[in-house]
Structure 1
């Protein structure tokens, strides 16, 4: 009698277990109810609109994950530090924004797999023509290059003077010795900057041999000097001697509060001002309250590009130096049992044509 009762019970239990295994998405949605999602405004990853709606890459990713896992959710806006704290304290289930995965944050939070890789970058304000001209003459690289050119011209001119000044009236036409030495320097300078002279313009055999050797050397030398000078003049129009993060030590610098940019500057002992959000950070740079700002490369380029389209921040530019790789991930409650399901959905969406199209739309030059 007992066995006849337990068999249907066992069958029902087995059927329930099979249904849960076959429909994990439904069980996840039922177990969590409405998922509490926190957001931090960070274009183009999270773009908050006046009607309290959200768009952006991170929002698109979360919407597709929620659709894949059949989750209902509510999104609320928070500051960056508040977002991190609220997920860590359990007040929020998920954090969606441009949040970098760091060891320090991993101590109190979980993260999804990385869904976007970027770097830190430096933005500056283009200088006016007078300031640019001044910076060129105070640019250390330019001064070193010019010094090397003059030194090489003096050596070459001196050698030619010793070899040719008694025999070559064409190249050394001045009567005084000082004037002939000046002619020798001019000859060396022309040789270094212009290239080889005619072989037969020199009377002595050593002079002609030196001409052939220098002809080979100056071909490469002139190309190298031209490239260095072009780079120096181009960067001179941007901001004096900033070649990377180490050059920020003697400048007034800004970064977003509680961001990886601020942590990087603190770690490298670079004194800086902190700003509540990226918009006030860009405004401070445009108003010349700071000389340079540090933020995520993708965010800086997107915001400056969009601002220029509307006639704002036309003199701001991102320098061509990227450093300190950043990996963005969704913030998850610590020890969340649903992390694996979320990550599987994330990886699936990252391979989709829709995600690749979204990347192109936001970041196409």
Structure 2
């Protein structure tokens, strides 16, 4: 005989089913809602071509492009705020912002205050000067010690060669000398020596004496090397005379007015070497000071100087400014990170991944390829 079912047992299954359906109903919206990405604060400053500020307040540039790709890879949201360089470094050190994105050089002094990502670009410091006008250039060439030394050496060498041939050939070789007087023959001997030094030896058979012919063979070898060396030296001297007078590197900056940007690695470099210099708020003021000849030279990162001067000339500005071909003091750019940041490892992994992509190589070409 079947056992009677209690009323509470009849209600158990429907109540359990109702409870489970209710739980699913309340948990489904939470599971379907997308996870909220964290928002980090990013500080930057205008530093073309790495950070370019537009009139509407937005930013572009190589560093901004790289950060956008890295942030996408990391899955984080961000807010960009602009600061001057010194303020930016202080805020990262005080953990008021999470990242610094611009043309920030990785240095031991900065590493003591906050962290850096892996390097993403390598450059050097460089010197920019204002080219001389034609009159100043000619005056500079005429008083250039290196040029005068070269010309003096050529004069002495030509005189010696001409004297040797005169002693060997003037009695037996009338073909070399058109005038009978001794003074005329000495002058023609000097011209002969000058031609040897600047052009190379004459035909072997034009000389009558055996000694003269042997010397001709020796000079044929020696003058080939001499002419090549002198040509290169003179070309360098003329180029430098037109560009920068006597500035060839940082050692030549000690006794002239020099400019650098406030809180920059170029300013630190000059200070460490005891070179007194004037400080300017940004690169625009730096180049304007050079254009107005408030300073005779400015020091900044080579990539930045090359880009700024090139773009200025395209816009009809700073036509006489030039960057000297003497880069020094290697610089590596990285993203600044607040000390002990939880994002350091993920940032470096994303940075390494993005730098291997074709879009990064294309970006480098876009900003730095000659057009």
Q: TM-score, normalised by structure 1?
A: 0.88
Are 1:127 and 1:237, in contact at CA under 8 Å, matched by a contact in 2? yes
The residue that corresponds to 2:340 in the other structure is 335
Match of 1:153 in 2: 158
Q: Provide the C-alpha distance between the structure 1 equivalents of 2:108 and 2:328, rounded to a whole number of angstroms.
A: 18
CA drift of 1:228 comes to: 1.4
1:321 counterpart SS class: coil
Q: Which residue of 2 aligns with 1:224?
A: 229
In the alignment, what sits opposite 2:261? 256
Give the aligned length. Answer: 336
Answer whether contact 1:47 1:55 (CA < 8 A) is retained: yes
CA contact (8 A) 1:117 1:326 kept: yes
The CA RMSD measured in Å over matched residues stands at 1.6
Return the match for 1:316 from 311, 316, 321: 321
For structure 1, which segment, 158-167 or 286-295, has the greater mean C-alpha deviation from structure 2 after superposition? 158-167
Determine the C-alpha separation between the residues in 2 that align with 1:140 and 1:78. Answer: 47
Which has the higher mean CA deviation after the structures are superposed, 308-317 or 175-184? Answer: 175-184
SS at structure 2 position matched to 1:44:
coil
Q: Say which one has the larger Rg.
A: 2
Q: Do residues 244 (structure 1) and 240 (structure 2) align? A: no
- Equivalent position of 1:211 in the other structure: 216
TM-superposition CA deviations, 1:257-281 (whole Å, max 9, x none)? 1111111112222222111110000
Moved more, 319-328 or 226-235: 226-235
* Range moving further from structure 2, 80-89 or 178-187: 178-187
Query: How many Å apart are 1:174 and its aligned residue?
Result: 4.1
Decide which of 162, 187, 192 is 2:192's aligned counterpart.
Answer: 187
- Cα distance in 2, alignment partners of residues 348 and 147 from structure 1: 59
CA distance in 2, matches of 1:250, 1:152: 36
Cα deviation for residue 310 of structure 1 reads 1.2
- Correspondence list, 1:1-365, <5 A: 33-365=38-370
User: TM-score, normalized by length of structure 2?
Assistant: 0.87
Q: Secondary structure at the match of 1:123?
A: strand
Distance 1:104 1:113 in 2: 16
* Structure 1 CA distance for aligned equivalents of residues 236 and 174 of structure 2: 40
Q: Which structure 2 residue ranges, 5 or more long, are not aligned?
A: 1-34
What residue is the counterpart of 1:22 in the other structure?
none
Is contact 1:140–1:241 with CA below 8 Å preserved after alignment? no
Give the Cα separation in 2 of the matches to 1:335 and 1:119.
29
State which drifts further: 349-358 or 240-249.
240-249
